[in-house]
Chain A
Amino acid sequence: AQKITQTQPGMFVQEKEAVTLDCTYDTSDQSYGLFWYKQPSSGEMIFLIYQGSYDEQNATEGRYSLNFQKARKSANLVISASQLGDSAMYFCAMILYSSASKIIFGSGTRLSIRP
């Protein structure tokens, strides 16, 4: 079954520290993509980073990097030098290109940054 699992419901991190948000996925498809969204309290989902299943290098976007380990089926998000504005819900998601671009979301991790 196609599934995204985020095992950390909530995390507290000190400002300026790095943080890793865990994400594991399950699919038998060969062609898929993994990505992360940030959802502040305002409700709007903000696209952060994307990794294709055939991409050999880990994706990076500024302070965000995606640690893609295909054999382990994990796609952890790493935020370097966390900031107070990083406090939000973070969702890991998977897109299955063989299923007409169907997207599956994880349950989310609430990240709180302490000053």
Chain B
Amino acid sequence: KAGVTQTPRYLIKTRGQQVTLSCSPISGHRSVSWYQQTPGQGLQFLFEYFSETQRNKGNFPGRFSGRQFSNSRSEMNVSTLELGDSALYLCASSLSPGQTYEQYFGPGTRLTVT
């Protein structure tokens, strides 16, 4: 069974631009969560989607948004990029929200904002 895939793996953007990251969950998994990982703040929960609906959201500004499609694939978007948005963005999938503890993570997208 294929794992969680994230594209692109690496990305360089400049301040003020916007970016879209993609995540394809494991086949059959319907819950997708997004995390931001930085050296200073560690791992922080961004949001969770299930059945195309956002179920949960972390403490991030409105510049961070996401969506989920009917095939469970998810995208997250960051508008008006700031230097502090440079991070590893991890996506994780699970069978359902009730099994979030047994998430399977993708390799991440490393975003650099210059």
Contacts and interface: CB of A to CB of B under 8 A. Distances in A.
Interface in A29-76: 33, 35, 37, 42-47, 50
A105 B105 CA distance: 14
Nearest to A44: B107
B98 interface: yes
The main secondary structure of chain B at its interface with chain A is strand
Interface in B55-114: 55-56, 58, 88, 90, 92, 97-98, 100-108, 110
Interface residues of B, number: 24
Contacts of A50: 101-102
Interface stretch (A11-19, A77-85, A96-104): A96-104
A113 interface: no
B56 A101 contact: yes
Nearest to A35: B101
B10 to A, nearest CB: 11
Interface of A: 33, 35, 37, 42-47, 50, 91, 93, 95, 99-108
Interface of B: 33, 42-45, 48, 55-56, 58, 88, 90, 92, 97-98, 100-108, 110
